Structure 1
């Protein structure tokens, strides 16, 4: 029984030299490639961008940033779509927490039936799981911008609401501000005293005036009498003297720019607040009594 002969793969001097060279060259090439890869992926310090001025500034920049705005610059309002994307879409895009889903006419139909003013008020005051103003503050988005978002969503759900009227700069406030700047110090002090008194009166209204307002409405079914009573108990704190930019009672010039808007808009301002005036003047009177008070003040300039 014979064994198979064992063959040597290297049979010539040239094959031997090639094998020796390959045995040294291949590992060296592999080591060089690995070193180059590691050097390019992990190196820091000299020879990299880590110490470039922009990179250093980015690393040491504070987390909080201060944004300075010109208080006298005209305000640029967001569109309804922009407010929706920034605030409302968190729930309304998918119908989370019972929110009517954006673009779903079935979800929006019962809301649309309530009317725009009711939807606007609900967005401002909050309802169910939705916080007031969608969790924002008046400094973030004005009542007008919230109204634009409400109209935008409702119209995509089948409504045909008009956008709320855009707030106009108060000519009366501008004039009073210019007068205050040029008035004597004594007059300025008197104005400040009146303003302080008005703010104190507004702050005390919910405790002192809410009950009498309801009582006056109960004593008389006459809307004009209820409106007069609410004016005397609540509204005159500012409207009697035209404090805080409020149109002065009986002053046609103050009321003229307000009455250019439809009465529903004027009612809406009284119900939901405008500028420094809180909703319902800070009282808990009924909507009907608040509208009656507006009618009473408007009748004084006709």
Structure 2
């Protein structure tokens, strides 16, 4: 049996040339079409904002930036709402980890019953799963700003708290400087003499920054103010916290029962006398010119927080 002869598909020179061209042209066309398809989704042109000033500036912006601030400029405090949004909302917005939920009267009622000062102190020192100051530092938010956030949250749950007294210009910066100097000395493991020297410098700076004019005696001399509690609290914020907030130079730290226990073993008249006439590194009246009655009220305010 004989097989039929096989015929070649390309029989003429023209067919050969066409086949060679097709062998090169078809893959090239396919590659061009694929490249166009892939690039078409990211291609920019007229009608897009990819080349706008804002978009270009965003693309070439440096990764890190330096903000230069005047250390002597008056501090601009955040509002209670701003502090809440930046710090407290992480837990209080949803009630995470047992935190009283923002706006929930049932969660906040037992806290509100304790009073603003207790809530403020708890926010500063921490409680349960909540770290002190919500995990921030005094350089981030001052005691005053933390107090504003506490009042903001409590008032949205049925309380009627007044905002804490605003620190006098320079007092908050001095307190933060004293706290920072003491913390830096402890962190660096400096010797006792060096740490004491650093604390002494911080305390001196804090006392020197106390505004004398705002604490000038009233016309009535030592006349008790209409609201002694508020007067004592205000004087603490303006003067005493410069050292007592951080426990600078062995000053009994605000709210620390262990620090205040040996002082409270003495009669209150003796404690008043220390505050009025000075003791150790503490100058008379903490370096202010406040009335005696207001100084005693400030002592009462600090003592009540340590009981």
Q: Normalized against structure 1, the TM-score is what?
A: 0.53
Tell me, yes or no, if the aligned pair for 2:199 and 2:248 is still in contact at 8 Å. no
Q: Secondary structure at the match of 2:76?
A: coil
1:228 to 273, 276, 284: 273
Cα separation, 1, equivalents of 2:114 and 2:161: 12
Q: Deviations over 1:112-146 (max 9, x none)?
A: 00000000011111111111110111111111111
Q: Which residue of 1 aligns with 2:287?
A: 247
1:217 to 239, 251, 264: 264
Cα separation, 2, equivalents of 1:167 and 1:227: 23
Q: Which residue of 1 aligns with 2:128?
A: 128
Q: Secondary structure at the match of 1:100?
A: coil
Q: Which residue of 1 aligns with 2:248?
A: 202
Q: Deviations over 1:234-253 (max 9, x none)?
A: 8552323x7xxx434xxxxx
Relative to structure 1, the CA distance from residue 34 to residue 197 in structure 2 (aligned partners, 3 Å threshold; closer, same or farther) is: closer
Q: Normalized against structure 2, the TM-score is what?
A: 0.52
Q: Which residue of 1 aligns with 2:281?
A: 237
CA RMSD of aligned residues (A): 4.8
Cα separation, 2, equivalents of 1:144 and 1:89: 18
Give the CA deviation at 1:203: 3.4
Tell me, yes or no, if the aligned pair for 1:123 and 1:150 is still in contact at 8 Å. yes
Q: Deviations over 1:57-81 (max 9, x none)?
A: 7566553322111222222111111
The aligned runs of 1:3-14 (5 Å cut-off) are: none
Q: Which residue of 2 aligns with 1:186?
A: none
In the alignment, structure 1 residue 92 sits paired with structure 2 residue 92:
yes
Cα separation, 2, equivalents of 1:74 and 1:197: 19
Cα separation, 1, equivalents of 2:259 and 2:77: 39
Unaligned runs of 5+ in 2: 1-28, 175-196, 205-242
Cα separation, 2, equivalents of 1:105 and 1:289: 26
Runs of at least 4 residues off by over 4 Å: 29-35, 48-62, 192-195, 197-201, 204-207, 210-213, 229-232, 288-291
Relative to structure 1, the CA distance from residue 115 to residue 49 in structure 2 (aligned partners, 3 Å threshold; closer, same or farther) is: closer
Q: Which residue of 1 aligns with 2:149?
A: 149
Tell me, yes or no, if the aligned pair for 2:203 and 2:248 is still in contact at 8 Å. yes
Tell me, yes or no, if the aligned pair for 1:230 and 1:290 is still in contact at 8 Å. no
